[in-house]
Amino acid sequence: MSKKPATQPALHKVIMVGSGGVGKSALTLQFMYDEFVEDYEPTKADSYRKKILLDGEEVQIDILDTAGQEDYAAIRDNYFRSGEGFLCIFSITEDESFQATQDFREQILRVKNDENIPFLLVGNKCDLEDKRKVSYQEASDRAKQWGVTYVETSAKTREHVDKVNSIVCRWYC
């Protein structure tokens, strides 16, 4: 039953990075399956694949959801090496996670050695406006400094998830 398509569509590897508990997996699952998972379970490394039809061209996007916990920092390099695009997530309710994005950015640039690698800064949990610790301005300034786009999303309400989606797609079309 597993019929392989005649021509394998282009495959692009996107990696979700960010501190623990900022909602990388939630965002990924929302993105993949329109599903929001309430319970928290630290991720080790998950892999998802999605076919996207864009301008009549089929593109496969492989999403690698990595562990935010520092326990797994050592294996990150290996993951980063295979990545072709990066979604750097932080939680707008947690300043620490926003500061960590700097480290991630640097590690990625060190491994990939490419300033223009597709990169997106995502501030998650924007539904929790009342608990906001990182202002929009602050985040978008940093994005501007890096020369990347900044998007605020909510994995819970699916706000701007599709926007992220379309930005990612545009990288590869």
Torsional class of 162: left (φ above 0), alpha (ψ -120 to 50), beta (otherwise): alpha
14 or 126: CB nearest other proteins: 14
Does residue number 36 form part of the binding site for other proteins (CB under 8 A)? no
What would the two tokens of residue 14 be?
A: 């996107």
Q: Which is nearer to other proteins, 71 or 162 (CB)?
A: 71
- Cβ-contact 23, 125 below 8 angstroms: yes
- Interface with other proteins, residue 108, by CB under 8 A: no
Q: What is the residue type of 53?
A: L
Q: Which residues pair with 85 in a beta bridge?
A: 14
Tokens in use for 158?
């699916």
Q: Residue 66 has which token pair? A: 């990595």
Work out how close the CB of 163 gets to other proteins at its nearest, in angstroms, rounded to a whole number.
22
Q: Scan residues 113-172 and list those touching other proteins (CB under 8 A).
A: none
CB 134 → other proteins: shortest distance, Å? 22
In the chain, alpha helices (H) = 24-33, 73-82, 95-112, 136-146, 161-171
46 binds other proteins (CB under 8 A): yes
Of 21, 62, 127, 128, which one interacts with other proteins (CB under 8 A)?
62
Alpha carbons 30 and 37: distance in angstroms, whole number? 8
Least distance from C-beta 40 to other proteins, angstroms?
13
User: Which CB atom, from 11 or from 54, has the smaller least distance to other proteins?
Assistant: 11
Which residues form the interface with other proteins (CB under 8 A)? 1-4, 25, 29, 32-33, 35, 43-50, 60, 62, 65, 70-71, 73-74, 77, 110-111
